[in-house]
Amino acid sequence: MPKRTKKYEENLVESLKDPIEAAAYLNVHLDSDDSEEMFLLALRDVARAHGFSEVAEQADLGRESLYKALSKDGNPKLSTLKSLLKVIGLKLSVEKENKAS
């Protein structure tokens, strides 16, 4: 019996090549309770979908440095995040939080 995980991962990688899908994926993980850790791991998924080595090169980062920055315990600089997001066709933005009064 084939593993379902493989098909899920293949579909995820394919969908994360689309900037709209990637943005939605990152936003969901950014809003999670463990936002920093989950966001970095999600961003690593997106970078992997675009070809990790190619993304690192285009962002002027070493591949190992990028892996470390996007690890569970990573702590990338804002400039690293901006460079990485630009390479994959995304950008950072800030919006007003909708709080229930």
Q: Tens of pLDDT along the chain (101 residues)?
A: 555 667 888 888 899 999 999 999 999 988 877 678 888 999 999 999 999 999 999 999 999 999 999 988 889 999 999 999 999 999 998 888 877 76
Residue 12: φ, ψ to 5° = -60, -50
Q: Which distant-in-sequence residues (6+ apart) come within 8 Å of 29 by Cβ?
A: 35, 38, 39, 41, 42
Q: What is the pTM of this model?
A: 0.83
Cα–Cα distance measured from residue 58 to residue 52, given in angstroms and rounded to the nearest whole number: 10
pLDDT of 16 = 95
pLDDT of 31 = 81
Cα–Cα distance measured from residue 40 to residue 37, given in angstroms and rounded to the nearest whole number: 5
pLDDT of 8 = 82
